[in-house]
């Protein structure tokens, strides 16, 4: 495992892969939240793509940000910037899906044991999702995306049906 506290130093130029005799270096941070590497790179002509290749990081499935702003693979990176890979944020509505038909993706279960289901159609309730997941809600409080729900509550794409043990008081 790489030591994230000790900066790494590049010994090649990003464009040619040959020994770099260019004067100057840049210092950049690169990675995902919780796992950021600090790199000290020789030369000044670095792009998002060349930095990710050097750091051996695959950006597939991630949104790329440079100093907090959306960036493409050919975006230049300068000294002191951070190249951050973030999982895309999914909203509650997918405008690309037809109103009837299609599929919905739903998470269901108890904390520590969540199943992901991909269900055909779009007319799902808590009861029908629990049946598909083969989960019994007896004795549990039901939450859909964090809000209290009943067996008749509608469930849409991207939501989580969570079963929680009821909280008991001291009385």
Strand 103-110 and strand 160-164: pairing?
A: parallel
The CATH number of whichever domain residue 114 belongs to comes to: 3.10.20.30
Cα-only R_g, the chain: 23
The answer to whether position 81 is within a domain reads: yes
Q: Same domain, yes or no, for 122 and 156? A: yes
- From 57, 86, 115, the end of a domain falls on 86
pLDDT tens digits for range 30-48? 998 888 899 999 988 999 9
pLDDT tens digit sequence for 100-120: 557 888 999 988 888 999 988
Domain of 75, in residue numbers: 8-86
Q: What is the pLDDT of residue 148?
A: 92
Tens of pLDDT along 40-77? 999 889 999 999 999 998 888 888 999 889 999 999 99
For residue 64, the cross-strand partners are: 85
pLDDT (0 to 100) of residue 166: 85
148 shares a domain with 122: yes
Strand, coil or helix: 17 = coil
pLDDT at 146: 87
78 in any annotated domain: yes
């Amino acid at each position: 495992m790489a030591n994230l506290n000790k900066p790494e130093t590049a010994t090649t130029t990003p464009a040619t892969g040959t020994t770099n005799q260019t004067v100057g270096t840049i210092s950049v941070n690169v990675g995902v939240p919780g796992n950021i590497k600090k790199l000290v790179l020789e030369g000044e002509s670095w792009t998002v793509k060349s930095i990710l290749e050097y750091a051996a990081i695959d950006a597939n499935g991630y949104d790329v940000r440079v100093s907090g702003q959306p960036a493409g693979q050919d975006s230049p990176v300068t000294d002191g910037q951070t190249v951050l890979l973030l999982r895309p944020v999914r909203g509650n509505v997918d405008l690309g899906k037809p109103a009837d038909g299609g599929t919905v993706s739903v998470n269901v279960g108890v904390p520590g044991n969540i199943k992901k289901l991909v269900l055909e159609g779009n007319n799902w309730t808590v009861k029908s999702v629990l049946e598909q997941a083969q989960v019994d809600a007896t004795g549990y409080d039901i939450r859909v995306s964090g809000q209290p729900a009943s067996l008749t509550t509608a469930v849409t794409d991207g939501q989580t049906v969570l079963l929680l043990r009821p909280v008991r008081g001291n009385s």
